[in-house]
Amino acid sequence: MPSRSDLGPKPRLGYTDSRIERAAELRPDAAAIAALSRDPNAAAYVIGGDWIVMKKGSPLHEPLFTLAEAQALSGPTETIFLGLLNGAPRFGHGLSPQTAEALKSRDTLHVTDLRSIAVQGLVASEHLPPIAEAKAVLHWHARHRFCPNCGIATRLVQGGGRRDCPQCKAEHFPRTDPVVIMLVSDGERCLLGRSPRFVPTMWSCLAGFIEPGESIEDAVHRETREEAGITCGRVVYFASQPWPFPASLMIGCHAEALTHEIVVDREELEDARWFSKDEVEVMLMRKHPQGLTTPPPVAIAHHIIRAWVENEIRFD
């Protein structure tokens, strides 16, 4: 096996390894949840749409507020129970995006989006998984105020683990949308693409939502064929990552290319091409002569690509 440059210790995958015990058995007990909200050690993450509200600090900001502090930042809103951290209750407190954005003017607060927080390391890393969870669940609540079955206003129950319809009695659960994200390779080369949304120098794995009726492997085959015209053979699972933009689960895979001629779907991608291991290695190290890069370590794409460069992937 050819030796490659030392890429250093493997970075942590963002939004994973939450230290919070979800304590889902407490959710049906409204009195217990209410008691936990009065616990002196209770604290909440404050989120309005894409905006995360933090107490300004140095070098890190503090994303936890007492529940009284959280309530004082807004009018009555919905609060969800995230679980217990060493017995201390943790909640997510939802604001309207407009209310959160208005808080940017306060000197004592820092309000920004979760991508910036994760990539720039603005809070202690242990906060990223619960912020991601709270953001995804609060987004779901904000978009499911009314029953999709009968149209009546629904209400939050089970500490935010469900919404119930008082008329037709339907129960609605927060959803997670599965996405396949895959590195297609043929041995010494891999296929990377560019979305028009990317910064101009970044290239990444292809990705797409799994459609109803598809297996993970089906979705990898279809997305690769649709976006780049490449037919894939074997698919191996690598790892997964919650991706709260707004509420996806990224399912990371490696796929074996059976064809080589790329036909780019310009509706989906700005470009796609083959990259050698040597070129991808200098992109990972941020030493590419044209400044090309892979996504940052917070994203699973970085880890999928790095595993291929480090010769860790086998299709047999």
Helix (H, G, I), strand (E, B) or coil at 216: helix
Strands 43-48 and 64-65: antiparallel
**Residues 166-185 close enough to bind Zn ion by CB under 5 A:** 167-168, 170
State the minimum distance, in angstroms, from the CB of residue 139 to Zn ion: 21
Whole-Å CA distances, 100 to 74, 95, 106: 9, 6, 11
Whole-Å CA distances, 179 to 251, 269, 289: 6, 16, 32
State the minimum distance, in angstroms, from the CB of residue 159 to Zn ion: 21
State the minimum distance, in angstroms, from the CB of residue 155 to Zn ion: 11
CA distance 90 to 83: 6
In the bound state with Zn ion, the residue whose beta carbon lies nearer, of 149 and 276, is 149
State the minimum distance, in angstroms, from the CB of residue 61 to Zn ion: 41
State the minimum distance, in angstroms, from the CB of residue 78 to Zn ion: 18
Q: What tokens were used for 308? A: 């291929």
In the bound state with Zn ion, the residue whose beta carbon lies nearer, of 154 and 240, is 154
In the bound state with Zn ion, the residue whose beta carbon lies nearer, of 153 and 258, is 153
State the minimum distance, in angstroms, from the CB of residue 172 to Zn ion: 9
Q: Give the x/- contact pattern for Zn ion in 90-109, rule: CB under 5 A.
A: --------------------
In the bound state with Zn ion, the residue whose beta carbon lies nearer, of 164 and 214, is 164
Residue in 171, 160, 176, 173 with CA at minimum distance from that of residue 45: 160
> Sign of dihedral through CA atoms 132, 25, 174, 241?
positive
In the bound state with Zn ion, the residue whose beta carbon lies nearer, of 5 and 167, is 167
**Residues 141-160 close enough to bind Zn ion by CB under 5 A:** 147, 149-150
State the minimum distance, in angstroms, from the CB of residue 28 to Zn ion: 20
In the bound state with Zn ion, the residue whose beta carbon lies nearer, of 121 and 151, is 151
CA distance 106 to 52: 14
Residue 290: half-sphere exposure toward Cβ, Cα within 13 Å: 8
Residue 136: half-sphere exposure toward Cβ, Cα within 13 Å: 20
In the bound state with Zn ion, the residue whose beta carbon lies nearer, of 152 and 263, is 152
User: Contacting Zn ion (CB under 5 A), which of 165, 219, 220, 284?
Assistant: 165
Residue in 264, 215, 249, 250 with CA at minimum distance from that of residue 235: 215
Number of shown-chain residues binding Zn ion (CB under 5 A): 7
Residue in 7, 60, 14 with CA at minimum distance from that of residue 252: 14
List of residues contacting Zn ion (CB under 5 A): 147, 149-150, 165, 167-168, 170
